[in-house]
Structure 1
Amino acid sequence: MQSRETLSPSLTKDSMKIHRKSSDLPHSRPERDLAQFVCLFFQELIFSMEGFKPFGWYLTLVQFGFYSLFGLVELQLTQDKQRRIPGNTYMIIAFLTVGTMGLSNTSLGYLNYPTQIIFKCCKLIPVMIGGIFIQGKRYNLADVSAALCMSLGLIWFTLADSKVAPNFNATGVLLISLALCADAAIGNVQEKAMKLHNGSSSEMVLYSYSIGFGYILTGLFGVGGLGPAAAFCSQHPVTTYGYAFFFSLTGYFGISFVLALIKLFGALVTVTVTTGRKAMTIILSFMFFSKPFTFQYIWSGLLVLLGIFLNVYSKNQDKMKLPSLADLRNMVLTGKKVRLLSQNV
């Protein structure tokens, strides 16, 4: 059976408050999607610079710094400035956030950009696994089928990329896979923490990214990677820090929207919404940046989209009184009409 979550009256009230507050930001669907497209455009633009690819962790440091600043400003504009979520929970969330964003940025030094995005489209798979182990959720046949389609599409896309992409490297696959595992844990931990402690999205952004900034800064100092990265960026301030600012600003709008969406609807629905946007991002990436292309990208991408469709179908099954996959299978095998829920009196 599919898990169902019941929000307390106080949480529902706070969720409505987050929804109203987020309307002041570009969180409506068209504006939010535009912000994310611009964010990913600047991300690929930064990594297309010659010599920048080794400095993915430094970009993550700058990104975390901007996010912390934006979160502080937003929190100061709200009436409720009290921290509700415990500090040790933020330590865990910050560590996972550093892992997913740092590894994701670093993977661009090894992977074709559309390949990285198609991996992110399949975040549903580790999210489901994380939901089972972290929150004890159970998923129906449609969700499992969606994960299977995404897995097969992902494997096919990766094999195609390994044949045509000159900069394909298995290290990139490992990095983005680890990033997705951390990302899956983040969504479930954030969902559990925000519902348990009734925390706001601006609070979550401020504390998780400011603590994460300290993690990355300490790590770069430890490995001696801070100096070379800062020296390179000082030679190209506009195309590094300038692009990073717009990359972080538009990304922050998307992060705030995702956190509000997680609190209102859960991690799995959030992944479904953001995955649709990523599919369009792949198309725009091929349009704006020259890169090798093969029709296997299309077929494997369609398989991933089928997985997205199955997931959306599952989420709307009860609301729209749609037949389950088992009912559809029986209808095809027996040739008989399946009695839909809408036919019940």
Structure 2
Amino acid sequence: MSINGIRSGAETDKIKIQILCLDISNLQQNTQFILCTITIFIFFILYGYMQELIFTLDGFKPFGWYLTLVQFAYYTMFGVIEKILKQEGNRRMPMTIYLLLALLTLGTIGFSNSSLQYLNYPTQVIFKCCKLIPVLIGSIIIQGKRYGPLDFCAALLMCVGLTLFTLADSKISPNFNTKGVFVISMALLCDAIIGNVQEKNMKAYNASNSEVVLYSYGIGFIYIFIVMFLTGDLLTGFRFCSQYPVETYGYALIFSLTGYLGIQIVLTLVRTCGAFVAVTVTTCRKAVTIIISFLLFSKPFTFQYIWSGLLVVIGIYLNLYSKQHPFMFSDLEYKLGLFVHYFKHRPYSKIKGRIMTEV
């Protein structure tokens, strides 16, 4: 792999690379990167725009969970279509694991959607950028992973930047509600757990992305449908959305389709250019999404948003750098041990002579 993370021609020729069912395997690596980047920006910027646009509908904010129900229905439909087109075989991962993944997926997206009832969209995006913090904790507990000092410094910078961004939002936003911080934090908690559970079990059972998406969202749809039916929220949400079918179901279709396709192209970018490049592109996309949100949707602004957001970005790139150049606490302990052992067992005359020479 080259320095910029893009695979060599010999590597990419062995892999069939597709964007929206179009084979781009024969294109140059730079062309593949440009195509993936452009489509990711288009789909996810449109995804964020449609999500915020739906919540600008007067009276829609209490129906975040109903939007999640509709989104899960669309994702399930997309998963079925993709599985048929790819002609994939039987399920590989046990159903018990999918029951857990569906619950975590529901929590991740449901809490994220409902948080917009209380938070500005840029604040929600900043929280999502700080997913590293709960993921780091979850991977230590669930998978027993070890991290280096740069990872913890990155998490600290994200915590500081996130705190300052939230404080700025609470000062200038008249609709700020601390309940929104709790709701989006629950989404990040579910996201941290689901990421580690998916990684562990997809490797163990070699399950495809389309299988995981289909069963996670399909079972999640059943979960939320039963809960909303029993609480009466299903009928209430249906009555409200039936009054504005285009602004709800129509926008939700675009919102869900762009999100689904965006995920697939991110996976393609990871395959062609590596995770480092993929995360860099998606991070830049989130920054553009925040800027567009301030430009297209009227909301209060303060320069504290800028420098607190920069702290979060620095934390993200510090985390990415640590992945490219891993340095563990054990490495530091080992080098210190060699240093101590050297001076402890070296004859004093040689050490003294070397010090005198160096001085």
Question: Please, what TM-score do these two structures have when normalized by structure 1?
Answer: 0.82
**Alpha-carbon distance in 2 for matches of 1:252, 1:90:** 19
Match of 2:171 among 152, 155, 163: 163
Residue among 61, 70, 86 paired with 2:69: 61
Matches within 5 A, 1:1-345: 20-21=17-18, 24=21, 28-257=36-265, 274-317=282-325
- Structure 1 match to 2:357: none
Instruction: Calculate percent identity across the aligned residue pairs.
Output: 58
C-alpha displacement of 1:271: 6.0
> Residues of 1 paired with 2:77 and 2:202: CA distance?
21
Q: Does the CA-based 8 Å contact 2:75-2:217 persist in structure 1?
A: yes
Pick which of 242-251 and 76-85 moved more.
76-85
Q: Give the superposition deviation at 1:260.
A: 6.6
Deviation at residue 265 of structure 1 after TM alignment: 10
In 2: Cα distance, 1:281 partner to 1:315 partner: 25
* Cα distance change on mapping 1:122 and 1:313 into 2, 3 Å: same
User: Which is worse superposed, 270-279 or 64-73?
Assistant: 270-279
Q: Give secondary structure in 1 for the equivalent of 2:237.
A: helix
Deviations 1:55-86, CA, capped at 9 Å, x for gaps? 00000000000000001100111132221111
In the aligned structure 2, how far is the partner of 1:267 from the partner of 1:317?
14
2: CA distance, partners of 1:147 / 1:192: 23
Structure 2 CA distance for aligned equivalents of residues 297 and 160 of structure 1: 7
* Matched residues, number: 306
1:40 counterpart SS class? helix
- Cα 1:106–1:70 shift into 2, 3 Å: same
Distance 1:155 1:215 in 2: 33
Q: Which runs of 5+ in 2 are unaligned?
A: 1-10, 25-34, 333-359
Measure, in 2, the Cα distance between the counterparts of 1:264 and 1:100. Answer: 27
Q: Which residue of 2 aligns with 1:330?
A: none
Compare 308-317 and 214-223 and name the one that shifted more: 308-317
Cα distance, 1:299 vs. partner? Answer: 1.0
Query: 1:157 and 1:98, CA in 2 relative to 1: closer, same or farther beyond 3 A?
Result: same
Task: Please identify runs of 4+ aligned residues in structure 1 that moved more than 4 A.
Answer: 257-273
Return the alpha-carbon distance in structure 2 between the equivalents of residues 189 and 278 of structure 1: 25
Secondary structure of the corresponding residue to residue 144 of structure 2: coil
Q: 1:143 deviation in Å?
A: 1.2
How many Å separate the matches in 1 of 2:271 and 2:106? 21
Partner deviation per Cα, 1:134-156 (whole Å, 9 max, x = no partner): 11111111111111101100000
CA RMSD of aligned residues (A): 2.7
Q: Matches of 1:286 and 1:278 in 2, distance apart?
A: 13
What whole-Å deviation, never above 9, does each CA across 1:240-264 have from its counterpart, x for those lacking one?
1100000000011123345677899
2:36·2:269 contact (CA, 8 Å) conserved in 1? no
Cα distance in structure 1, aligned partners of 2:132 and 2:187: 13
Opposite residue 248 of structure 1, the aligned amino acid is S
- In structure 2, the CA distance between the partners of 1:240 and 1:54, relative to structure 1 (3 Å rule), is same
242-251 or 129-138, larger mean C-alpha shift: 129-138
CA contact (8 A) 1:269 1:315 kept: no
DSSP-derived class of the 2:17 partner: helix
- CA distance in 2 between counterparts of 1:133 and 1:254 reads 30
| 2:17/2:268 contact within 8 Å kept | no
In structure 1, stretches of 5+ residues that fail to align are 1-12, 327-345
Alpha-carbon distance between aligned partners in 1 of 2:221 and 2:259, rounded to the nearest angstrom: 16
Pair 103,261 (structure 1): closer, same or farther in 2 beyond 3 Å: farther
CA contact (8 A) 1:35 1:251 kept: yes
Q: Residues 178 and 277 (structure 1 numbering): CA distance in 2 closer, same or farther, change over 3 Å?
A: same
CA drift at 1:308:
1.3
Alpha-carbon shift at residue 284 of structure 1 (Å)? 1.1
Bigger shift: residues 204-213 or 272-281: 272-281
SS in 1 for 2:86: coil
Residues 63, 244 of structure 1: 8 Å contact kept: yes
Task: Pick closer, same or farther for the CA change 1:269–1:64 going to 2, 3 Å.
Answer: farther
Deviation of the 1:277 alpha carbon: 2.2
